[in-house]
Structure 1
Amino acid sequence: MPDNTTVNTRQTTALATQVMKDLLQNQEFIKLLDNIVSNAIEKKLNELIASIETVKGDVINLHNRVDEKEREIMHLREKISSQNNRCSKLENLIDNMEQYSRRSCIRIFGVKESTGENTDDIATDIICGKLGIQLDKTTDIDRSHRTGKLKAHPSSTTGHPSSGDVTSSASASRVASTDLASSIIRDKYARSIIVKLTTYRKRREIMENRKKLKGSGITIVEDLTAKNQSLLKQARAHPVIQSAWSSDGRVIALIPATGGAYATVGGDLFEIPSSPNNSYDAVSLGCPANMNNVTRCWYKHMEQKIPLDKSIAIVCCTSYMCDPRGSPLGLESGKINNDSISVSSERNQDVEKREVRLNGRSAWQPLEDDADPWVQVAFDSAFIITAFKTQGRPAYNFEWTTAYKVSCSMDGTSWIFYQDKYNNTDKVFSGNYGKGSPVEHTFFTPIVCRFFRIHPKKTIGKITIRLELYGYGPINELLAAINQEESGCPHPLRGSKMGVEDGRIPDSSLTSSSYRIIDGFPLSAQNGRLNGGIDINRNACWLAVDDDPDKWVKIDVGKTSLITGIIVQGRNMMKRWVTSLKVSHSLDNNTWTFALEPQCEQKVFPANYDYDTPVTIVFNQPLTARYVRIHPFTWYRSRDDCALRYEVLGIQD
């Protein structure tokens, strides 16, 4: 029987359960309970939100402090960068100042070294004796001495003084060494001689003539700072630098650009490492494949605000030249005024100097007794002349110039004639072949000058010229100096004679569209060999028939070769010659292409200006061909006598 405690517990539990059921069924109680719970939850949520807002404020404050510190760091970085740039500029300025202090100095290498020598005498002997320059050591040399420590010859057992110090004076420097007394040190162990000249002009004259030392074992170079010496060494070791040199203390590197163009760069622009695969993005010349104007690449750099003192200049031509490079300099437009034009003489007021402008109403003509006629154009500062065009006198038959030379000057006093690089003579340019058609000539190495002259040499009728110049400018002295340096730019390949003249190309390989027979002598393609001719008929030339509408002579060189040019000549002992021509080529004797197509229109080449002088035409780009055709375009006076002797230039294998 359960005890009283158990009974009471059960009764209490039952009563509590009943009370809870009653309460849960009581809507007022449920509502009260809901309010209590809601208030408690809301209180806790408010406390949590307040806490979150506090934390959020702390985070924002932290972000603000971080941003502030980042701004401080950025400011410090900018300040450091500015200071680094300033230091770099100061270092460059110091180096430039040091280099400038050496502008009158030269270094001579390859001179044997001996005790008791007088370096003033050595320098004077080289400059006067080998370069042919007048030099007085007492007035032109400030001081001279050997540089660096004395190098011991390997056979020497006594060594050399540890200090290697060398004394110098304004008059001379003497080297003394008791250990090497009476010995002569071989060239490769000899130290260079540094010579400080009293004038920059004398130093420049020496530098311009130093090529005369070629083959002597002696070289003369600029006295460069350590930084520039290192830069020049890097340039010469770079895998894609074609050549490198220095000009007035500035290192210049010749870099081939895309599209066959060339440019030179120097200074800090050069310091660009090679990529692992030896590709080269140097200074991002960025010339597109069809670019025919390297200066546009140069101006692209200028648009990128690369300082001019970083030295970018034009020195070479491009492979294809369809049009003159650069812009007309202003003869035709009048930009070049009449005061800038000078002439040797004027025949009368109808043909005076102001009429020399291309496409003008008349032309310039000198006096008939003028023994050395010329036209001169003067500029206020240096210009790069890349090409020129000439014309004869309009509305007058047989008044044009058929051959001329060109000269240039920086001071209007000392003149240099443009040189034929293939034979080191003054270049004679073939001139006009009619009164109206302009003839254009592009300089393989552009001329840098302030004064330009054209000298007529041969003419049809009276000497007559209308003229335009093409190029870029004005340029500053630095760019002018760079362009005047020998750049090593490649000229178009001349090749060698392929065998028309000497008979290596047989008669069977020489054919033509037609030929004439005069007095029983055939003037066929086989009789047109260069420099051939017994008299006016025998082996005198190739001569096409009068009514041949498409005259040509064809040469089969025997196998596919690089055709680099042609040589043409007039009829032997008779005033008959071709004045202009075209050239076509083929690999299979079926499909023919004219020279410079498809990049350019059919090129008309100016040809002979007399019957005897061979004229060499070198193509801007070699042609790959086996067959070559020469197409006469115009010829001297007679419409019937289209006479030609010829040779083909090229490279086999």
Structure 2
Amino acid sequence: MPLPTQEKAAGMTTRGGSTSKPEKRQSGCGGEVKDRRTVEDRLDELLSSMLTRDYLDRQIKQLKMDIHAENKEITERLEGRIYELETDNEDLRKTVGSLEKEIESLHAARDKTEIKLNDLEQHGRKDSLRIIGLEDKSENESVEECVEKIVRFVTDKLEVSLNKNDINIAHRLGNFTRTKPRNIIVKFTSRRKKHDIIRARKKLRGSGQVIFEDLTRNNQQILKDAFRLKCVKNTYSIDGKLFAVLTNGKKRRLFMDTPLSEEYLMNDGNFRRL
């Protein structure tokens, strides 16, 4: 039996000394198909027809319409959301404004309340004085001993008539130390006696002993802060009323809400004539 030649192996058929290419191939189902090259040509032709300018124009136009519609939808959603946020922001702004006004009103009411409480507290101290520098040798000093020291001090140093019955109560302030005498608070039964002592206290200059009105903590701080100003020569109180003497000799009545600045105190328009 003759062996297949190289041409047969390559798919060539020899008939009577000549070769020819196969015209057809059998399909797996027994049917026939056209030449493979013809199919490829048809596919190329189909693709070419699909990619014509008219087809591409239609596709691009449709794509633009789709993009425009999508952008419009997104824009409308964003505009709606922005409107909602602006509305919420306006509501919040109104709420904040209302709260700020309410806070200002509360602060004003608090300040008025503090002033009233300070005035009430000071009124309760109208008959009292503070004595600084009076000897203090015993931690166990009694009220009676304290009263006796005050009577001797006022009678001898200030030359003002005073007896035990003129004093309602007296006591030391703070903790006992051997290096510095504790201050004394003394409340008189008569405001006239208090005024007599106030008028005579100038005799204590240079002695290291001082007498002040018994002021609230707020009033004490006001006088201290005012005294630190360069335009203020001196500060003092009369029956709980606070005053500052300026370097130009003018007097100013001070209150809890008085702005303690040189510019304010030097302006005569801010004060009534005393």
Distance 2:207 2:39 in 1: 136
The answer to whether 1:52 aligns with 2:75 is yes
Match of 2:168 among 114, 138, 143: 143
Note the 1:127-526 alignment, pairs <5 A: 127-135=154-162, 137-138=164-165, 141-149=166-174, 151-153=176-178, 188-189=180-181, 191-236=182-227, 238=228, 240=230, 242-248=232-238, 249-254=240-245, 264=252, 266-268=254-256, 282-285=261-264, 297-299=267-269, 302=270, 475=273, 480=274
Question: 1:16/1:246 Cα in 2 relative to 1: closer, same or farther (>3 Å)?
Answer: closer
Of all paired residues, the percent bearing the same amino acid is 23
Structure number with greater Rg is 2
- Tell me, which stretches of 5 or more residues in structure 2 are unaligned? 1-20, 24-34
Distance 1:149 1:39 in 2: 94
Matched residue, 1:86: 109
The 8 Å contact of residues 253 and 265 in structure 1, kept in 2 or not, is answered as yes
- Tell me, which stretches of 5 or more residues in structure 1 are unaligned? 25-29, 155-187, 273-281, 287-293, 303-311, 313-472, 481-653
Note the 1:526-541 alignment, pairs <5 A: none
Q: Deviations for 1:346-393, whole angstroms, at most 9, x for unmatched residues?
A: xxxxxxxxxxxxxxxxxxxxxxxxxxxxxxxxxxxxxxxxxxxxxxxx
Question: 1:144/1:261 Cα in 2 relative to 1: closer, same or farther (>3 Å)?
Answer: closer
Aligned amino acid, residue 125 of structure 2: R
Matched residue, 1:105: 128
Distance 1:92 1:2 in 2: 120
SS of residue matched to 2:91: helix
Q: Select the structure with the greater relative contact order (CA < 8 A; seq sep ≥ 6).
A: 2
The 8 Å contact of residues 129 and 213 in structure 2, kept in 1 or not, is answered as yes
Distance 2:188 2:178 in 1: 30
Question: 1:2/1:218 Cα in 2 relative to 1: closer, same or farther (>3 Å)?
Answer: farther
**What is the Cα deviation at residue 8 of structure 1?**
5.1
Question: 1:90/1:283 Cα in 2 relative to 1: closer, same or farther (>3 Å)?
Answer: farther
Question: 1:64/1:212 Cα in 2 relative to 1: closer, same or farther (>3 Å)?
Answer: same
SS of residue matched to 1:151: coil
SS of residue matched to 2:131: strand
Question: 1:42/1:134 Cα in 2 relative to 1: closer, same or farther (>3 Å)?
Answer: same
Distance 1:123 1:112 in 2: 10
Aligned amino acid, residue 221 of structure 1: F
Q: Deviations for 1:476-495, whole angstroms, at most 9, x for unmatched residues?
A: xxxx4xxxxxxxxxxxxxxx
SS of residue matched to 1:285: helix
**What is the Cα deviation at residue 69 of structure 1?**
3.1
Question: 1:78/1:15 Cα in 2 relative to 1: closer, same or farther (>3 Å)?
Answer: closer
Q: Deviations for 1:447-474, whole angstroms, at most 9, x for unmatched residues?
A: xxxxxxxxxxxxxxxxxxxxxxxxxx6x
The 8 Å contact of residues 241 and 253 in structure 1, kept in 2 or not, is answered as no
Greater strand proportion = 1
The Cα RMSD (Å) is 4.1
Aligned amino acid, residue 145 of structure 1: A
TM normalised by structure 1 equals 0.31
The answer to whether 1:41 aligns with 2:64 is yes
Distance 1:113 1:134 in 2: 23
SS of residue matched to 1:221: strand
Distance 2:175 2:61 in 1: 102
Matched residue, 2:11: none
How many residues end up aligned between the 2 structures?
A: 238
SS of residue matched to 2:117: helix
Distance 1:109 1:12 in 2: 118
